[in-house]
Chains A and B, each alone.
Chain A
Amino acid sequence: MLFSYSNVLVFAAVGIAFILVTLSIGALIRPYAPSLNKLSSYECGEEPVGSAWMNFNIRFYIIALIFVIFDVEVAFMFPVVRIFKEWILEGRGVVALLEILVFVLILLVGFIYVWKKGDLNWVKKI
């Protein structure tokens, strides 16, 4: 069976092996001297209070949602990009361009709406 994407796995394997080799060489060479002070956030000065956990601003969420919408849009454009060159050679490039422009423009309306309504502003007046 044809499986030409296997070289992606080779890249992943090389990447993971690179990290593993580097870290294990470091573990072999470095001296081993554990102490409690090394585990604290600031070895000298401030004593940490509480956990490092903090709540994100809720504004992040709406921006992430809008990002996902445009992510889906980009995913839909991959097939069009793939055939665009062939369509230009066949003389249908303008048609493809117009069709994809309509697709983008419809979503642009939503983007303008969200922008004008101030949903992208960090501090919003209600």
Chain B
Amino acid sequence: METFIVSVIFIVTVGSACIVAFSNNLVYSAFALIGTFLGVAGTFIYLNATFLGLVQLVVYAGGILVLIIFAVMLTSKINESSRSNPGANYKAVVPLVLLLVLLVGRILTRDVWTKDLSGMAHEPTITALGNLLLTDYLLPFELVSVVLLAAMIGAAVISRRKVKTQE
């Protein structure tokens, strides 16, 4: 049963990622991204990283995706720019992909994955995280708010300038 569930999650993730990569229509790619995000959220939850899964679900599947779809919708003449760039530089791509394969292979063949964790307790991380955020890590927690404030004001200022130059 467990293997079945994991397979479903992985098939959804990789399948929609393939649609994102190979679809000729950019809008289909943007919408297929939701499957990838949901699959990654499922993977996080399966790995007992409940909070990460929740963030993935709320921020990525809920927020970032809307942003990406808006960006696609905002782009003018999208039909002409929907295919991947035929003039892509293969001389640069091939070494990069090889490097990536090597890196992922190196990570996959490490011996940490063979450790047996079935005896360990599986507590939801979110409770411990809440306790830590309000006690030991209170200052970073409030600093997150300041960082978000800076991001919001920065986004407003930059988009304002863009509108100005357009008109």
Contact = CB atoms under 8 A, between A and B. Distances in A.
Interface in B19-71: 42, 45-46, 48, 51, 54-55, 58-59, 62-64, 66-67, 70-71
A75 interface: yes
B111 interface: no
A14 interface: no
Nearest to B71: A61
Given A6-B5, A53-B79, A99-B142, 7 more contacts: A65-B152, A65-B155, A67-B63, A72-B63, A82-B126, A83-B134, A103-B142
Sorting the interface of chain A by its residue count into under 10, 10 to 19, 20 to 34 or 35 or more gives 35 or more
Contact of B63 (A53, A68, A110): A68
25 contacts: A2-B48, A5-B46, A6-B5, A53-B78, A53-B79, A55-B73, A61-B71, A64-B66, A65-B159, A68-B64, A69-B152, A71-B59, A72-B148, A79-B133, A83-B134, A87-B134, A95-B134, A99-B138, A100-B134, A102-B145, A106-B146, A107-B152, A110-B149, A117-B160, A119-B156
Contacts of A73: 145, 148
Contacts of B79: 51, 53
B136 interface: no
A100 B141 CA distance: 9
Nearest to B133: A79
Interface residues of B, number: 54
Contacts of A126: 163-164, 167
Nearest to A120: B156
A61 B159 contact: yes
B105 interface: no
B151 interface: yes
The 3 closest A-B pairs by CB, nearest first: A79-B130, A83-B130, A71-B63
Contacts of B141: 76, 99, 103
Q: Which of A68, A113, A114 has the most CB of B within 10 A?
A: A68
Interface of B: 1-2, 5, 8, 42, 45-46, 48, 51, 54-55, 58-59, 62-64, 66-67, 70-71, 73-74, 76, 78-79, 118, 122, 126-127, 129-131, 133-134, 138, 141-142, 144-146, 148-149, 151-153, 155-156, 159-160, 162-164, 166-167
A124 to B, nearest CB: 7
A56 interface: yes
Contact of B163 (A5, A96, A114, A124): A124
Contacts of B142: 99, 102-103, 106
Contacts of A83: 127, 130-131, 134
